[in-house]
Amino acid sequence: MSCQFTDFLLLLYFHFFIFISLFSFLYFHFFIFISLFSFFYFILLRSVPPKNDHDDDDIESNLLLPEGVPVDRQRARFIVKIYKAEGLPKMNTGIMANVKRALTGEARDLVDPFVQVSFAGRKGKTSVRKGAYEPVWNEQLVFNEMFPPLCRRIKIQLRDNDSVNDDVIGTHFIDLGKISNEGEKGFLPTYGPTWVNLYGSTRYYSLLSEHTYLNDGLGEGVSYRGRLLIAVSAEIVDNLDAITQVDLESCSPLPETAGGKKEEYFLFGSILEATMIDKKVGEKPVHFEMSIGNAGNVLDGYNSPTNQDEESSEETGESEDEKSTSSNMGEVPQWQSTTPPVKPVTKDRIYYIMPYYEEKPCMYVKENFEDHRRRMYNTNILSKIITKLENGLNEVQELINQELPFPERRLRGVLEELGLGCSKYVSLVKSSSGCGSPNKTKLDKERSKLLIREIDQMSTMARTLKATITKNNMRDKLRSSIQYLQKLQNLVEEPQHALPDVFTWMISGSKRVAYQRIPVESIIYSIVDEEKGKDCGKVQTLFLRLPGKKASGQAGWSIQAKLQIYLWLGLSKHKKDFLSGLPKGYEETKTIKQANRLNAMPPQVLNYKEETLSPTWDEMLIINELVMFGQMDQISEDPPAVIVEIFDQDKVGKAEFIGRAVAKPIVKMYNEKYCKPKFPPKLEWWDIYRGSDRAGELLATFELLQLAPFGDMSGQDLPPMDMPEAMDSDRGTLMPVPKGIRPILSKHRVEVLFWGVRDLKRLQLTHVDRPRIDIECAGHVLQSSVIANAKKNPNFSILVKFFDVELPENELYCPPITIRCVDCRSFGRFVLVGSHIIKSLSKFMYVPTTKRAKDALKKLFPGRDLDAAKIVTEISTKAEDVAITIDEKQPLISRDQVITIDAMDRKDQKTAENKRRRKAGIDEEEPDLESLDWWSKYFVSVETMIRDHYKKDDLAGEGDSKDSPTHKVKPSEDTTGYGAIPNVKPNSDDPEYNAKHAKKMEKELKKMEKKEATSSGKIGFRATAKAASFASRLSPKTQRKKDRLLSATSQLKGLFPRKFAHHAPEGEQCPADEEGTNQMSLITVFPQELEVQLEYRNFTDWLHTFELYRGKKISGDDADESRVVGKFKGSLKIYKIPLPPDIEDTTITGGDPQYGLFQGLPSNDPIKVLVRVYVVKANDLHPSDINGKADPYLVIRLGKTVINDKEHYISKQLNPVFGKCYEIEATFPVESLLSVQVYDWDLVGLDDLIGETKIDLENRFYSRHRATCGIAKKYEL
């Protein structure tokens, strides 16, 4: 024992010794740290100058303000007046309320409301009203803030006071940009006095409620929570000290009619059909509830307005419960807002339906609200204008995408409809404002003036824009039309509420399951069709969804119930029209009766397709048990919706929901002939949605065929179906799509060029070493060879493969092509790297030109040259009016082409120039011609490019877009190089186009746009960032930059003729000056990358680059960029086989297309190249230093080679001239992506990256344009 005890003491001592040593070590380092810190602190104290009495702590002047916002801003008082509240929920009900009542001794519900207002980082709140469902404050909160303020929103929150934690009843946000206008005829922020409706969670309060976050304004409110009577105003104050606190003051009470004159509203609803009820709810009785405000809310309790003040109740000693009971006994609510509870029925236990057969349940609500219908009417008129404009612009965009003729005609029609709609709006608003409504607030009057002014101006601009549309400038005019749409969308939102929204709930037992919130303006009634809501008096389809966060996840993708409901809302004096929109055949009782019943349509299921993103079913489903009764003309005009749901079949587990499509069938009456053009119906693409996101497209068609009224119900009297002759024996009982509906299929060959893969990112923390590309089309999959080692050589060993597949002759019905990259790993594992989907195949379709077709064209168009050989390129035959072709049988540079070498004696040149100068009366001294070098020509070329750009703008309005698919051709070139029927000359096909009138209207449009830009260029708090950006473009600083750029070679103006020219195309003559002297040869300077230039077409004449994506698509282009995991280089050609024997086309290498379209291409083996990079200058670099300048230098990267030119940085320059040439030896394809980076040199710290550009050298190297790109027509010695 003693020995063991001694060892234990030694062990403790040893550990203690180590601890003392470590502590000493740490103490030593801590002492050193304290010493160093004291030393540096002493130096800093000596370097910082002492503060004197003249220094002021002006925080406002040190703020980081947005560009364009003035530093010296005025002071303003923002006043938020809180008058009273109504319709508050019972916040303390249930067990907890009983406990609190027992502890406090209170006999009534403990609702202690107060209002908290947050603005510009400060908060203020009103006094607390104890135990009041209708509190009255008459108080105002005053915020002292700079004007215009940097804060855009005012947050108003109604709370319930509690000793532990205040509960939020509801939240509302007021956007200052919506209640003010900073234009010339603008107005300061003003709002109300008006009622603000609050929304949030359901009114039944519990401590464990899962939707309480909705009361904070996060997400869509699922229930009405009460309303507040408030007002907001702003006052500019000259002399006001900076006050950080919020003042609470009392204000004068408003009269009873200040919020508006009350009218009785009548809300009617009838559920015609309730289907697709989720099976989780289908086992219990279900009923539906309709409410507007508190009216109609039966489940959560209704607090009727009491019009009694708090003092009278205290004098009588009447409690809140007794008041509510006596009020309810004296006044019965005027509504029947729920349907009877009924248990759903089902046939397949997938979806349940409500047995609403002969009788349809009705609901109605009557309630008094302030009459502010004009607010809803204005919104409805603008919404209809926006809908029509948006649909029209989508049609124009679709015409452009499908390369159909005359999209400019449709755009003119869209703008004409816009002008008429705007004129109609102005006339309606002016006629209504002349009556003079006493319920209008100051914001109503100012907003009415603003809308009339803006919409009237838009009407004029729309008609002016219509008159200036041509085929060449159509894309620019389309962008201007989209700006009109965005402007209307900003104006349509009404900041002041009119009526509470309508809620429809599905209730199972006593639990709210699913809901739909209906905007009240969409169902409001008016005798004027333009003012009436789009769904008023109509049967609409509602998809009920889960409340709160459940609706945004996977659980929210499924439909809880589908309702066919009829809604009408209007004044009680207009109640006679509430049934005018019901389908014929209904009669009104307590319920709406229909002549016969509607049987439930059992769901039908298609077979599943394995491992594909583009499944092809080719199946027809027949539903025999569907019986509908009613007026067939109305069913034909508005047929019931067909819901198609698509699932992902998993071998293990539950099928995953992919998306849902809502389609409309084509109705055939029994006495209608089944013949063209209506029957058989054509296939259509229907969008597939998963929640609010698009998830694909469905190609299908639907028919609803009426049987004879008194005939055989088996369908023997229906027209016979023409089935395909050869049916697959594996189909079994499944029927294919019949002839006439199914597209005409023909055999096509898909040739695929497998070139290589580039920039593959890691997958599962492992490099992709052995990639393979799979091409899928219409169920057929073509696999490339496997790359042995992607690091050493990322190109494929076998370049060309093909497969044959049957495709529709109509390109609109063609399925997409899916490109998948798979990593082939050990043990037979295949991991998906990324995929790319080609939706439109027209770009890769090849239509051969035959001798027979060319002879027919010669007869139709005699005298035109149709003998030019057609080259199979990647240009779609529909995309252009004129195709640029190059005869591959001829050399790249024609022998007959003359390359001019100007060797005129310098003395003769100078003598001729002096003569011209003297004749023009110019005596200034000119620089010597011999002093001209490459830089002089470069600067003159840049000046010429800028002047030509402005000259085009003067001649053609805003000018053609950079991606406009037009080319300048010789007058004789009236036919396309493909031998297709040519289009006529621009604008000759449009009798509405008048060039003289268009030019006149264009000038007028520019004046109006300039005037609008001047008025909108004023800086305000509504859109400071946008205004600052706009002001920067108009600022004198920007103009000085342009002037410096144009005058950079002002000393050379006397040297060159007044007219400069780029390299003229072959066959055109360069213009000469008045004396006939030759022009100096200039350098062609492109304003953008070569890949963007129309003549080079991204260097994809035979080699394309497809980006590979991984993961699920998220809305937004930035999100798609983050999904890119690599690139596949290759190409495709799709054509019908067999090719005609009299084909006259050649491949890109001059071969016969009969032997393949990719024959004769260069090898993709590694090749060594010498790359020369000429860096001339940089423009408009971003400032990186405190002084607003930068010290730029270049870093060139190509593969493993890095050239860092840090030593030759250029000090304090945002437009540096580098003038450097760099040579790099590289090996394609491993080293093919050139990166040019510009860094900012810093004395201390790391250098900052200003920007970079990346150039794909491989595409430029293998392009057929490489031999001719940059060759001039004229040279000088």
More confident residue, 1117 or 512: 512
415 close to 462: Cβ distance less than 8 angstroms: yes
**Above pLDDT 70, what percent of the chain?**
68
Confidence of residue 179 (pLDDT cuts 50, 70, 90): very high
Sheet holding 1201-1204, edge to edge: 1201-1204, 1192-1198, 1233-1240, 1248-1256
* Encoded tokens for 84: 């009273």
Q: How many CB atoms lie within 10 A of CB 506?
A: 24
- Looking at residue 185, its pLDDT comes to 87
pLDDT in tens, 515-528: 999 999 999 999 99
Q: What is the residue type of 1067? A: G
Confidence of residue 435 (pLDDT cuts 50, 70, 90): low
Closest CA to 363 of 535, 545, 569: 569
More confident residue, 18 or 1262: 1262
Across 695-713, average pLDDT: 82
Hunting for tokens 């307005």 — which residue is that?
A: 305
> 488: part of which helix (H) or strand (E)?
helix 474-492
Assign 3-class secondary structure to 351-374. Answer: EEECCCCCEECEEEEEEEEECCHH
For residue 737, the 8-state DSSP code is P
- 407: CB partners within 8 A, 6+ apart: 396, 399, 400, 474
Query: Read out DSSP for 74-91?
Result: EEEEEEEEEEEEE-----
Query: 556's torsion region: left (phi>0), alpha (psi -120 to 50) or beta?
Result: alpha
Q: How many CB atoms lie within 10 A of CB 967?
A: 14
Instruction: For Cα atoms 1222, 1227, 1230, give the angle at the middle one, nearest 5 degrees.
Output: 110
pLDDT in tens, 777-806: 988 899 999 999 999 999 999 999 999 999
Q: Compute CA 861 distance to the chain's CA centroid, rounded to the nearest angstrom.
A: 46
For residue 842, the 8-state DSSP code is G
Comparing 95-99, 139-143, 349-353, 793-797, the range with the smallest average pLDDT is 95-99
What's the mean per-residue pLDDT of the chain? Answer: 76
- Looking at residue 618, its pLDDT comes to 83
* Encoded tokens for 404: 């159909």
* Encoded tokens for 1161: 């291409």
552 close to 508: Cβ distance less than 8 angstroms: no
159 close to 198: Cβ distance less than 8 angstroms: no
Confidence of residue 105 (pLDDT cuts 50, 70, 90): low
Q: How far apart are CA 1148 and CA 1170, in angstroms?
A: 26
Cα-atom radius of gyration of the chain, to the nearest Å? 38
pLDDT in tens, 481-499: 999 999 999 999 999 999 9
76 close to 147: Cβ distance less than 8 angstroms: yes
List of long-range contacts for 995-999, beta carbons under 8 Å, 24+ apart: 997/467, 998/467, 998/468, 998/470
* Encoded tokens for 927: 């620089």
Could you give the C-alpha distances from 824 to 283, 753, 761, 784, 791, in angstroms and in order?
50, 20, 15, 12, 15
More confident residue, 618 or 892: 618
pLDDT in tens, 837-874: 998 888 899 988 888 888 887 777 776 655 555 556 55
Across 504-522, average pLDDT: 93
- Looking at residue 70, its pLDDT comes to 66
Q: How far apart are CA 662 and CA 683, in angstroms?
A: 15
Across 204-232, average pLDDT: 83
Q: How far apart are CA 311 and CA 327, in angstroms?
A: 17
pLDDT of 605 higher than 60: yes
Hunting for tokens 């389309």 — which residue is that?
A: 478
1059 close to 1071: Cβ distance less than 8 angstroms: yes
For residue 1056, the 8-state DSSP code is S
Closest CA to 945 of 1121, 1095, 1063, 1084: 1084
Q: Is 1168 exposed, middle or buried (0-12, 13-18, 19+ CB in 10 A)?
A: exposed
Angle between helices 1024-1034 and 1036-1046 (to 10 degrees): 30
Q: How far apart are CA 336 and CA 446, in angstroms?
A: 40
Confidence of residue 989 (pLDDT cuts 50, 70, 90): very low
Regarding pTM above 0.95, the answer is no
Could you give the C-alpha distances from 176 to 98, 180, 191, 1021, 1023, in angstroms and in order?
43, 6, 9, 8, 10
Closest CA to 353 of 511, 642, 567, 563: 563
Q: Compute CA 416 distance to the chain's CA centroid, rounded to the nearest angstrom.
A: 25
Question: How many residues are present in the chain?
Answer: 1277
At 472 the three-state DSSP class reads coil
Could you give the C-alpha distances from 942 to 409, 456, 902, 936, 1083, in angstroms and in order?
37, 42, 22, 10, 8
Q: How many CB atoms lie within 10 A of CB 914?
A: 12
Alpha helices in 1070-1149 (DSSP H): 1117-1122
pLDDT of 295 higher than 80: yes
Q: How far apart are CA 86 and CA 225, in angstroms?
A: 9
Strand partners of residue 288: 506
pLDDT in tens, 1106-1149: 999 987 665 444 556 788 999 999 999 999 999 998 888 888 77
Closest CA to 575 of 537, 620, 541: 537
Closest CA to 732 of 845, 835, 607, 560: 607
From start to end of 256-399, where are the E strands? 262-275, 277-278, 286-292, 335-336, 351-352, 359-360, 362-370
pLDDT in tens, 617-639: 888 888 876 777 667 888 888 88
For residue 948, the 8-state DSSP code is H
Q: How far apart are CA 722 and CA 730, in angstroms?
A: 20
Instruction: For Cα atoms 65, 68, 72, give the angle at the middle one, nearest 5 degrees.
Output: 65
More confident residue, 886 or 660: 660
Annotate 368-386 with b (16+ C-beta within 10 A) or e (fewer).
ebbbbbbbbbbbbbbbbbb
Q: How far apart are CA 561 and CA 185, in angstroms?
A: 50
pLDDT in tens, 262-272: 999 999 999 99
- Looking at residue 1111, its pLDDT comes to 78
More confident residue, 391 or 628: 391
